[in-house]
Structure 1
Amino acid sequence: MKRQLKKVTSVCLGAILAASLTACGGNSAQQEPAVSAPVQNEQTTEEQKATESMESQASADVQESLWDLSGEITITAWNSSYTAIVEGADRFMEMHPEAKITVEQVADNTKLFTQLTTGTGVPDIMQFQNRDDLTAFDKYAGSFLDISDLMAKYEKDLVPAVIPLLKDGDTWLAAPWDVAPAMLFYRTDIFEECGVNPEDIKTWDDYIEAGKVINEKTNGKTKIMGFDYNGTSSFDMPLIIFYEQGGSFFDESGNVQFNSDAVTTAFGIFQKMIDEDIAMNLPNEWTDRITALANDSLCTVPYGVWFAGTLKENLADQAGKWSCIPLPAVEEGGNNQVNSGGSTVMVSSSTKYPELCKGFIEWFFLSTEGSRINMEVSTLFDAYMPAYTDESYTKTDEYFGMSPAALAAQLCEEIPDLPFPAYFTDIGQIFQSDAVGPVFVDGKDMDSVLTEATDKAQKQLEFLRNE
């Protein structure tokens, strides 16, 4: 299917990406009110349009002074990211008629991996899940353009945790798109009816106690946690507590270590939730979660800021019944900042138009104007921190009675470095299949399960490294 959006051509290559790929807006220079003018707290619509027009022109002028923006490029993106970048490409071409940008919608990167392997048909700019970046650098070495001349000057403006995923050694091979600071989404009406004060939830033990109260007050109808006990459809929930502790599937020597304190602590907390009957099993975690939320069987979800858009899209009738608070910590006063999702973009080393690629990346991913488009069109929380004072990030979202994006902006500066070394996804799949279900469903000894899964994953890692 093709559709023309002004000047941008969009090609649908697949179904909407699964939820695991769903998965971070004022000007960095704020406007000062004119001293001679009467006090006026809000700009008129016309003034806002004029301001945005000036910002667009300023961006265009800057780009023209740095990059040759003529040429024709193709970009691949998925799901809501696709919707946002279509709008961004359209606006960019209005400013730069000498540029032609085609945006292709993909369901995932299956086709891209084949293109990178064969070296044919590779798009000029391609979206990756940030967890796959370092694997791509290793597996497809030489396939990506060095964009250090663009990225190095923006390092101070980026969410610190994502920076290690953008570089191969000292060379910048990727630019960040969205990040996903995690928070606790909760049903305000259910909490109030059950007499639970969300401000009292500081630790996961507090969370468990709140769940017991809700379970009792609702006669077992409403649970505070839901996840796939078998891990087949997702293991995102245990990973949140794992990451909160700075956990990694690899030790300092680069060997697999599933049997770490971070894993056993996370598993222990979730086992306690099951034992206390405050959790529910979601065999198909994504769709079953939406169903459980719709019928009031589930009342909280700890997830990345992007989940705000999921709630609004799927549960519009619950507007005004949701809010967000920071995640509980393992220990009182401990870290409660976690990233849960996010993506990046890379440029093909074989592109004929590297300047156009870098110019578009700078405007769309490394400016307040581009971040505003991402937030307003697709509720994507960009990794470009100067945008976080923009009204698109700070204004109250009526669905929540607050701004999830503004909360996310407070929860991203101390996120532990993202533990996604090369082949993380491959090793994670073994953890998902060989560790989660055997512990939570089969009731096997945790230490034995984690040791066996570690041995299996280590053999697979050695195979991949020598492939």
Structure 2
Amino acid sequence: MRKWAKGFMLLLTIVMVLTACSGGGASSGSTTTTTNEAANGGNNEATNANANAEEGNAEGNNANANAETEGEDATNEAVASDAVANFPKSEIDPNLSGEVTYWTFIDNKKYDGEILKAFNAAYPNIKVKTVFVPFADLHNKLQTTLAAGKGAPDVALVEQGQFPRYSTGGVLTDLLQAPFNAGKYKDYVSEYNWNRWSSIDGTQLLGMPWDVTPSVTYYRADIFEELGLPSDPTELGEYIQDPENFFTLAQTLKASGKWAMEWRDSPVHWLGDSFGYYDKELNWVRNTDEFVKFLDISKRVNQLKIAPHDGIYSDKGKQRVKKGESVMYVSGTYAPRDLALNFPEQKGKWKTTSAPFGLNFGAGGSTFVLPAQSQNQEAAYAFIEWITTTEAAWKLQVEQSIQPDWKNITELDWYQNHTNAYLGDQSDFSFYSSLTDKLPVRRYTTLDGLAWPIWVENVIKALDKNIDSKTAIQQAQEDIEKKLKPEKDKLLKLMQQQ
């Protein structure tokens, strides 16, 4: 029996006694939540992108795929070699000239200068004017100028939750069309990342794939080891895939005055992040047995009181982390950067592994769009293609906690061998890239941000009133479909006109 398992059995006995003595009833009161899904209709990418410290990420071995044979490794090396060697060459003339205006919500002049210097090494005759615009202002101003047919930049950085605002009406250029021909790159990014920047029906590519942010689990390995819990990333990742194991671990932490999660309703929202709200024909996708199952899991989190229903970066949350009380949470791969900024004294104590319950879901991301009204489209696309696909660009971008989803980059030695000091020198980048192909394809629509608060209200009500999960999922659909019918009809009409 492993060392951690021996200690764990003793702790489990204590937990079972404490659990039997506690109430375990549903908690009530709070009706707010913060999850990755909220950002899909909001702006967490702005926060992530503007905190420009070095990214820290995850364990180099995917906890859900540890049984690779030597033969599989050899095959993977061959594929990696092909991805780098056979990557399509740019068709753009390096002597192309022009002036490009680029709007970004990333406020980092040093980074901007380095990027433009590297870009001009490849395209010396293209002048790029970088304009920083605060997150909300950028997306609002972009929508206004696109609708007006004038005033938009040649290139804009757009966050995924905002992207649907521009995905209908023909206001963005389809990058699959000549002279751009971006379709040649499709096999070099994940299916998830390619599709999220496509039109709702999947026939047009309206944003160039850039970064990707899988969600993973972060935990205090030193505290887990002290408590006799599995502290090795591979072992822990395998262990928490089973809900029963996860809840046993969470109750062990609770018995020591510690939290295993942030939000009591998270599990059903994590599943929602995997599938979105609607398919490409705007059919509702959240009324399935899987959603019933995960609402049950959220109910159990609530009943066992293993989450404070508060984020780790609130004032109280920061205190919990500093006291060693919040010791485990699920986040995007930018989390070690934020942990290092807020809790530098805990360097080397955190580690990371897979998300629990067999889930794979994204936690944000952005794209570069080319407005149809641009008069400098070829020069603009030269910048877009360069910043998303080249090694020169990515060596700068990974330092800003931006995770690539391009196989010609993620298979390079410097990327694969990267380690993160904050995570105890774990291999991080290689772990991330091992997760991207597992992210399910989902659609992003203008209805998502409108559906989110209604969905949360129904979930919280189900937790607080202990409503049958199947009934609650059905009621959520009916509530959302009724309230959003005018907006849905409007969107369907726009899609038919496109």
How far residue 102 of structure 1 moved from its aligned partner, in angstroms, is 2.3
Partner residue in 2 for 1:239: 269
Residues 1:383 and 2:405 aligned together: yes
Shift of 1:278: 1.8
Deviation at 1:68, TM superposition (A): 5.9
- State the identity as a percent: 20
Which residue of the partner structure matches residue 62 of structure 2? none
The residue aligned with 2:210 is 177
Give a deviation string over 1:55-93, Cα, whole Å, max 9, x none.
Answer: xxxx9xx76853664222222222478875553234213
- 1:69–1:356 CA contact under 8 A, matched in 2: yes
- After TM superposition, list the pairs within 5 Å mapping 1:64-463 onto structure 2: 65-66=92-93, 69-79=96-106, 84=111, 87-103=114-130, 104-108=132-136, 109-138=139-168, 141-148=169-176, 149-168=180-199, 169-198=202-231, 199=235, 200-216=239-255, 218=256, 220=257, 222-227=258-263, 238-243=268-273, 247-250=275-278, 254-282=282-310, 289-329=317-357, 335-376=358-399, 378-390=400-412, 391-392=414-415, 394-400=417-423, 401-432=425-456, 434-441=457-464, 443-463=466-486
**Does the CA contact (< 8 Å) of 2:312 and 2:326 recur in 1?**
no
Output the amino acid matched with 1:124.
Answer: D
Partner residue in 2 for 1:51: none
Q: Which runs of 4+ in 1 moved over 6 A?
A: 80-83
Aligned partners of 2:388, 2:426: CA distance in 1, in Å? 25
Structure 1 CA distance for aligned equivalents of residues 334 and 466 of structure 2: 33
Extract unaligned runs of 5+ from structure 1. 1-16, 26-58, 230-234, 330-334
Alpha-carbon distance change, 228 to 351 in structure 1, aligned in 2, over 3 angstroms: farther
Q: Any conservation in 2 of the 1:67–1:356 contact (CA below 8 Å)?
A: no
| 2:373 partner letter | S
How far apart in 1 are the matches of 2:174 and 2:192?
A: 21
Aligned equivalents of 1:456, 1:67: Cα separation in 2: 54
**For residue 75 of structure 1, what is the amino acid of its counterpart?**
Y
Equivalent residues of 2:155, 2:380 under 8 A apart? yes
Cα distance in 1, alignment partners of residues 244 and 44 from structure 2: 28
Contact (CA 8 Å) 2:296, 2:469: kept in 1 or not? no
- Residues 349, 251 of structure 1: CA spacing in aligned structure 2 closer, same or farther, 3 A cutoff? closer
Structure with more contact order per residue of length (Cα contacts < 8 Å, sep ≥ 6): 2
SS of corresponding position for 2:211: strand
How far residue 194 of structure 1 moved from its aligned partner, in angstroms, is 0.9
Q: Structure 2 CA distance, aligned partners of 1:82 and 1:128?
A: 19
Please give the secondary structure, in 2, of the residue aligned with 1:172.
coil
The letter for the 1-side match of 2:147 is: T
**Hey, what's the Cα distance between the residues in 2 that align with 1:339 and 1:144?**
24
TM-score (norm 2): 0.71
1:410, CA displacement in angstroms? 1.1
| Unaligned residue ranges in structure 2 (runs of 5+) | 1-41, 50-54, 56-86, 491-498
Distance 1:123 1:253, change over 3 A: closer
Per the normalisation by structure 1, the TM-score is 0.76
Name the SS of the counterpart of 1:411 in structure 2.
helix
Q: In 2, distance between residues paired with 1:342 and 1:83?
A: 22
Counterpart amino acid of 2:116?
A: A
